[in-house]
Chain A
């Protein structure tokens, strides 16, 4: 088994400010200071699919009542989330459940590498929050018609499912309600740019997620 160093998806890497306004680091710092006076039961962490969720009514309806925090950053790949969680974002909080949704932005990485990145995050969470449960959400299909990224994402989910199957503190939840139609197409009503979810798309994803989360939180409370 190769070491994490040779897997770029599993090597903590901060975002690089290529544009000139330092927004990635600003967001990270914002999350770190945000965590100082909050006591979330649930932490959502990941990429734009997590970040955008916070902007819509569905967050207030389903996840605010669960005392959830949102640490999503658009564009993040596994190595960026790994860096953020290693550098303060888990510093002052002890959520019972961490919802991890990341992987679709790992361009240039193989499905195996992306799985390795996700599992590195799962391990990090276990190290920092020994009592927390990590719920990994399956990476969604993307693109209007079948393409290699859909195959890659499906393979990532398969590999992660296998990797977590032996772990008591983590599992994979497939949140794809069936976005791909029988002709292979994805609708812009669900994914407005064939990647990001519309409010309607989020409803379809979040209802089962919410139910599953409530079940997990109840189980955690019994422990």
Chain B
């Protein structure tokens, strides 16, 4: 009986308050409350890549009109997102589409484990919300020049490309094209700290994402009723 079957990246885990102001739990609690008040068509969940997007104009331009909720928390791993989804952040809502963007913070896990964690999130979503479509965003390259984390994130994306289609309701969207220049560098004009996106960086990824969301929402009969005419 080998105990090695469990993927640590697929184990739900809350974030411990080590700093002393309990901010993670406060954010989670707020999201659970938002589930009671809102009726989102689109749910975004993930780490700071999701969270920060809401602070830029692009969110109001492209995603607010789709009635999107943003449940991103900076620093989150797949384990933290799994815990949040299992502990209230899916209660009382029935989004047509869920956008998942997480995995770049899973520093303790291998690429295969990270992909497994993301798959577990997609599986949880499709089982809790049978009618939802899941869009998983590929992990972006990071760092000023080539480095092991870029290779790792690319490997995660590789696994997701082959695993996700088997889920039927889920699909993979790669929004990372163009960030790494021919000399292998990433510009601070796109990622201000070689990880987090600037307004320009978000603008580049938001277009293909919003196009896909509109396409999915358009295909869904219920949405046709509420669609902007």
Question: Which A residues are closer than 8 A to B by beta carbons?
Answer: 18-23, 26-27, 30, 51, 54-56, 73-74, 107, 142-145, 147-150, 188, 192-196, 198-199
> Which 9 interchain pairs have the tightest Cβ spacing?
A143-B21, A21-B143, A26-B144, A144-B26, A21-B147, A147-B21, A21-B149, A149-B21, A194-B23
Residue of A nearest to B105 (CB): A19
Total of A-B residue pairs, C-beta within 8 Å: 89
- Inter-subunit contact B54/A143 (CB<8 Å): no
Q: Can you show 13 pairs from A to B with CB atoms below 8 A apart?
A: A18-B107, A19-B149, A20-B107, A21-B142, A21-B143, A23-B195, A26-B145, A148-B20, A148-B21, A149-B20, A150-B21, A194-B23, A195-B21
- Which residues of chain A have C-beta atoms less than 8 A from B19's C-beta? 107, 149
- Which residues of chain A have C-beta atoms less than 8 A from B54's C-beta? 192
Assembly CA distance A26 to B73 (angstroms): 25
A21, A142, A147, A192: most-surrounded residue (chain B CB, <10 A): A21
- Which residues of chain B have C-beta atoms less than 8 A from A21's C-beta? 142-144, 147-150, 194-195
B142 in complex: contacting residue of A23, A107, A142, CB < 8 Å: A23
Which parts of B129-163 form the interface with A (CB within 8 Å)?
142-145, 147-150
Does B198 sit at the interface, judged by CB under 8 A? yes
Query: How big is chain B's contact interface, by range?
Result: 20 to 34
Tell me, rounded to whole Å, the shortest Cβ–Cβ distance linking B147 to chain A. 4
* Binary contact readout B54-78 vs A (1 if CB under 8 angstroms, 0 otherwise): 1110000000000000000110000
Tell me, rounded to whole Å, the shortest Cβ–Cβ distance linking A191 to chain B. 9
Which parts of B190-207 form the interface with A (CB within 8 Å)?
192-196, 198-199
- Inter-subunit contact B147/A22 (CB<8 Å): yes
- Which residues of chain B have C-beta atoms less than 8 A from A55's C-beta? 56, 192, 198-199
- Inter-subunit contact A193/B143 (CB<8 Å): no
Assembly CA distance A21 to B149 (angstroms): 6
Residue of A nearest to B198 (CB): A55
- Inter-subunit contact B23/A73 (CB<8 Å): no
- Inter-subunit contact B51/A147 (CB<8 Å): no
Does B22 sit at the interface, judged by CB under 8 A? yes
Residue of B nearest to A70 (CB): B192
- Inter-subunit contact B55/A192 (CB<8 Å): yes
- Inter-subunit contact B20/A147 (CB<8 Å): yes
Does B224 sit at the interface, judged by CB under 8 A? no
